Amino acid sequence: MLKSFGKFSRAGVLAISALVIATAAQAADISGAGATFPYPIYAKWADAYKKETGIGLNYQSIGSGGGIKQIKAKTVDFGASDAPMKGADLDSIGLAQFPMVMGAIVPVVNLPGVKPGAMKLDGKTLAEIYLGNIKKWNDPQIAALNKGVKLPDSSIAVVHRSDGSGTTFNFAYYLNAVDSNWSSVGVATSLEWPVGLGGKGNEGVSALVGQTQGAIGYVEYAYALQNKLTYTDMVNKDGKTVAPSLESIQAAAANADWSSAPGYGVILANQPGAKSWPMTAATFILVYKTQDKPERAKQVLDFFGWAYDKGGKMAEDLVYVPMPDSVVALVKKSWSDVKDSSGKPVL
């Protein structure tokens, strides 16, 4: 018995060592985790980048809260968050932050017979729905905005995020700006929602809304497109009705003063402008200023440099707006702050 056990264990050890040797020959993947907001475009970029350079990006779409946590714990090479970190936090942890793309948060609904763009909502109505004050679809406040749309006499199934989310942060920021009642809930990546179900990630919210009749949720526009969800138009700060598009996102970003906030942490919600989409948001990357793995850091910055230079068209295909060239130039210059432990810049 011991003999055969010995044989087994010898075979086992050989197998394991073969695997270990095999793993040594792998191309290194850079790892990142965080926001689900930009995940569709990051995934697309990663695919193209791997085809071009052979280097893979392992991005775990776990929510901005998760991204911040993982980069703080140094379990990943970069973190991704659409809730920008405050300057004081960036400095105390030693992180560099830069924006990658901009996108739109859109409300999505699941109502029979209602097509994408057929309905419209304004900020205050949206806030009241999420506060639980507006409970039914045929509520006069919704009906007033949507004359001609057949709204059923059924309860609204509110869907929000169950995980720590930058999308939530930007959404709550907007609601807080347009409805004074929202202050009871607050603005953060994780909230104590008064009503509703929680979905995990933009993916989870999309799935829940897609499956539940009478549901409303908030997702990044690419998710609404990819999953054929019914998005609504919004009434912006200037009182004009706008649809989510490259144009309306660019209009919202036009007035942004990118150097005004530390780590370029500008919030683009509720921007003035007749064509501006009211729930625009930028999404950010977090890397350590002092790197103990400088070769990895170089690969990370190479990837994002490639994304800035060559990824624009792919982003626009998914209705993400690339950062303006002036910002890209500023960011690339700031990358010289990313150094290894001896003070040498990694790039």
Give the interface size with another protein as a residue count (CB under 8 A): 70
**What crossing angle do the helices spanning 166-178 and 123-131 adopt, rounded to 10°?**
110
Instruction: Kindly state whether residue 16 participates in binding another protein, applying the rule CB under 8 A.
Output: yes
**Residue numbers 59-98 binding another protein by CB under 8 A:** 59-60, 62-63, 65-66, 68-70, 72-76
Single residue of 126, 127, 157, 256 touching another protein by CB under 8 A: 157
What is the DSSP secondary-structure string of 73-104? TT-SSEEEESSPPPHHHHHHHTEEEEEEEEEE
Single residue of 92, 184, 211, 342 touching another protein by CB under 8 A: 211
User: The tokens 């990943």 sit on which residue?
Assistant: 76
Give the Cβ contact number of residue 67 at 10 Å.
Answer: 32
Closest-CA residue to 215 (of 203, 198, 194):
198
Residue 13 CB contacts under 8 Å (≥ 6 apart), including other chains = none
Query: Nearer to another protein by C-beta: 213 or 259?
Result: 213
Instruction: Kindly state whether residue 107 participates in binding another protein, applying the rule CB under 8 A.
Output: no
Instruction: Kindly state whether residue 31 participates in binding another protein, applying the rule CB under 8 A.
Output: yes
Stretch that binds another protein, among 145-153, 191-199, 267-275, 296-304 (CB under 8 A): 191-199
Amino acid code (one letter) for 225: L
Q: Provide the H-helix boundaries in 73-122.
A: 87-93
**CB 113, CB 178: distance < 8 Å:** no
CB of 69 to another protein, least distance (A): 5
Burial class for 60, CB neighbours closer than 10 Å (0-12, 13-18, 19+): middle
Single residue of 133, 141, 212, 334 touching another protein by CB under 8 A: 212
Cα four-point dihedral sign 111, 117, 119, 122: positive
**Residue numbers 229-268 binding another protein by CB under 8 A:** 229
Give the Cβ contact number of residue 9 at 10 Å.
Answer: 10
CB of 160 to another protein, least distance (A): 9
By the criterion CB under 8 A, which residues form the site for another protein? 1-2, 12, 16, 19-20, 22-23, 26, 29, 31, 40, 43-44, 46-47, 50, 56, 58-60, 62-63, 65-66, 68-70, 72-76, 154-157, 162-164, 186-200, 203-204, 206-208, 210-215, 223, 226-227, 229
